[in-house]
Amino acid sequence: MLDLPFSNECFDVVIEKGTMDVLFVDSGDPWNPRPATVSKVMAMLEGVHRVLKSDGIFISITFGQPHFRRPFFHNPKFTWSVEWSTFGETFHYFFYTLRKGRRSSSVGVASGEKCEMSSICLLHEELEGEDYIFRTTIDGMD
């Protein structure tokens, strides 16, 4: 994940589930992660951005809350837009959709960043079974 062995712009979609979470395990303060963590996360995102086609989509399914992920997703190196949905009632999963080539000129909720609480209410058992993936559609997240 830190050195993807694929050619440039070869995938329409890249999906990761929990990969970034693993990189943050020993990050220290989540508001100010250790430099080693930042380097690993950026290497992963740079690799994903590189292998996505010019209109490719990166899907990240994670426990990482938006206020911790946005600084990485909005790095000036990347040309993607950021949207996310939240699943679960008391224990949340976040479903991020990043669309390459659609970055807003300025970053933030007011400039086109979309977020929503999903209308899908799932029990923890359903989340464990990953059925929520089949209840989402990247076409419907425009």
Per-residue pLDDT of 77-118, as tens digits, reads 999 999 999 988 888 889 999 999 987 654 444 344 554 444
How would you write the pLDDT of the chain (142 residues) with one tens digit per residue? 899 999 999 999 999 999 999 999 988 888 899 999 999 999 999 999 999 999 999 999 999 999 999 999 999 999 999 999 998 888 888 999 999 998 765 444 434 455 444 444 444 455 555 555 555 666 654 4
Any bridge partners for residue 46, and if so which?
A: none
CA distance 121 to 87: 7
What confidence score (pLDDT) does residue 131 get? 55
pLDDT of residue 100: 96
Element (DSSP H or E) covering residue 34: none
Dihedral sign (CA 88, 91, 94, 95)? negative
The DSSP code sequence of 48-77 is: HHHHEEEEEEEEEEES--HHHHHHHHT-TT
